[in-house]
Structure 1
Amino acid sequence: MTDQLEETAEPSRLAAGRVLGMERRSAMDAVRMRIGMAISLGLLKPGERLPDQEDVALGLSVSPITARRALASLAEQGVVVRRRGRAGGTFVADSPPTDVLAELSASPAESQAVNRLVDRRLLFECAVTHYAAVNATPEQLDELDRLTREMAESTDWSYYHRMDEQFHQLVGTASCLDTAIEVYHETLAELYGYFIPYPIDKLHKSNHDHIALVAAMRAGNVEEAVEVSRKHVDILHRTMFMGLAQGGLPAGP
């Protein structure tokens, strides 16, 4: 009963910011789908160890209970396996059932809904970046640099996603757009609710955009900063799960 109450009160961005086409999927089922699709698309390999349960929750923006229940469900269906001991943890099964993986996929309506959400973020991102390039303080630029280093040194998708989220939230704050920042942060949070795990090398490649953005902001080059952000977000149309299923190449948020 406690688990049901806590999942109903799910504090994640996924539950707080649903978009048309995805409102009927529970937080737990959404996590199952995101991990299942990452496996189907080869982003998570057979035998690969997932981060600890708490890190899975943080990386996918859900509560620990939701992550635990989702992983337990996937284990029951043979998609992942759990091993005890010092070298234990949760691992992608060597041969996940193809019928189960087929069920863990996004519908066309869900893909269209996320595409619309990407477009919404694209509009906000360009405006936010413009004003952040004008208004960011030296201290904020230093913190953005620090976050790019954290992402460059990250060894798994969970930690990378958390640093990535802090990075973009700080860009929003640096814009000094008052209440408009809240709307940007809400849109950003909604979109983060639909990311799936990516190989860390692909995420490190995506981090090059963050580094270029900070460099343009330090130089006061507003036009270049906006163009970096525009490309960084626009590529999500081809690299989130709705594009990956059609042969796109993975990249980070």
Structure 2
Amino acid sequence: MQELKGLETVVSVPTTGQQISDHILSAIAVGALPVGTPLPSERELAQALQVSRSSVRAGLDRLERAGFVLRRRGRGGGTFIAAGDAGELAGQQEHLATFRAERESLLDARAIVHGRLAHVAALRRTPEDAHDISAAAARYAQMDDPIHARSADAHFHHTIARATGNEELVRISVDLDRRINAGFRHDPFSPELFAAAQRDHAAIAAAIAAGRAQEAGVLCEEHFRATTMQPGSAGAEEDARALGDDTVGRR
């Protein structure tokens, strides 16, 4: 899968089954991989991590023994996150602290970068770009489950990045997305967040179409902080204090 490339930067080299399972456990512990989340296949994970399938299998086997993943065969089968032994997570505190700090830094970077991308897109967009961005916002609003909603959200923001006309900026945004999701698209999702994201997308699309660059940038950065960052994080607290020009000035 194309979106899984670059995942080798997430897990320390040399990667082992233990490291793979520890990373997934940390993602579960911080709520990044809720129960029911489907994982990529062993082949896709092995390709993304640039390791052998036996290493991936060893990591998943460990998680299955602890009850954190469930494997189903046949149509509709696959590997899914399950509710495991909470005691297993108790030994993950050091790894979890590192994972959480790295994730918060990446989320902060993504909010800032996408704010600037929306700003630039509003200055450079063509009529076709504006149409595509609005269409992507409308497509997101039609989604009715977390998996497809997350994919449609990624498409919306990717369309904005492409409207900058700068392939290097697109590459930076894609790289951040891959590192944050680590192969499992898992931004928070709830009916409330979904409704808020619909409103945000519509407002961002309208600002870009109208060429209101500053407004588009502020709206997009605040959108990422409000919908993906944990309350109480450094970036979220900073954003809560920021209004108008002050947000743009700190970038």
How big is the alpha-carbon RMSD for the aligned residues of Structure 1 and Structure 2? Answer: 4.2
Residue correspondence of structure 1 range 54-73 to structure 2 within 5 A: 71-73=60-62
What TM-score comes out, normalization by structure 1 length?
0.64
1:6 is aligned to none
Matched, 1:44 2:7: no
- Structure 2 Cα separation of the partners of residues 242 and 230 of structure 1: 14
- Structure 1 Cα separation of the partners of residues 233 and 49 of structure 2: 18
Matched, 1:97 2:94: no
Matched, 1:205 2:195: yes
Asked whether the equivalents of residues 122 and 230 of structure 1 are also in contact (C-alpha less than 8 Å), the reply is yes
1:3 is aligned to none
1:80 is aligned to 69
Q: 1:29 to 1:112 in 2, by over 3 A?
A: same
Asked whether the equivalents of residues 13 and 189 of structure 1 are also in contact (C-alpha less than 8 Å), the reply is yes
Give the number of equivalent residue pairs: 221
5+ unaligned residues in a row in structure 1: which ranges? Answer: 1-9, 244-253
Find 1:163's aligned residue among 152, 173, 195.
Answer: 152
User: What CA deviation, in whole Å up to 9, does each residue of 1:179-200 have, x standing for no partner?
Assistant: 3443343334333338636345
Identity, % of aligned pairs?
Answer: 22
- Structure 2 Cα separation of the partners of residues 125 and 77 of structure 1: 38
1:238 is aligned to 230
- Structure 2 Cα separation of the partners of residues 227 and 146 of structure 1: 21
5+ unaligned residues in a row in structure 2: which ranges? Answer: 236-251
What TM-score comes out, normalization by structure 2 length?
0.65
- Structure 2 Cα separation of the partners of residues 128 and 175 of structure 1: 7
Matched, 1:223 2:195: no
User: What CA deviation, in whole Å up to 9, does each residue of 1:74-121 have, x standing for no partner?
Assistant: 22221233455668665654x621112334565323322233323333
Matched, 1:133 2:122: yes
The farther-off stretch of 193-202 and 169-178 is 193-202
User: What secondary structure is seen at the aligned counterpart in 2 of 1:217?
Assistant: helix
Q: 1:90 to 1:183 in 2, by over 3 A?
A: closer
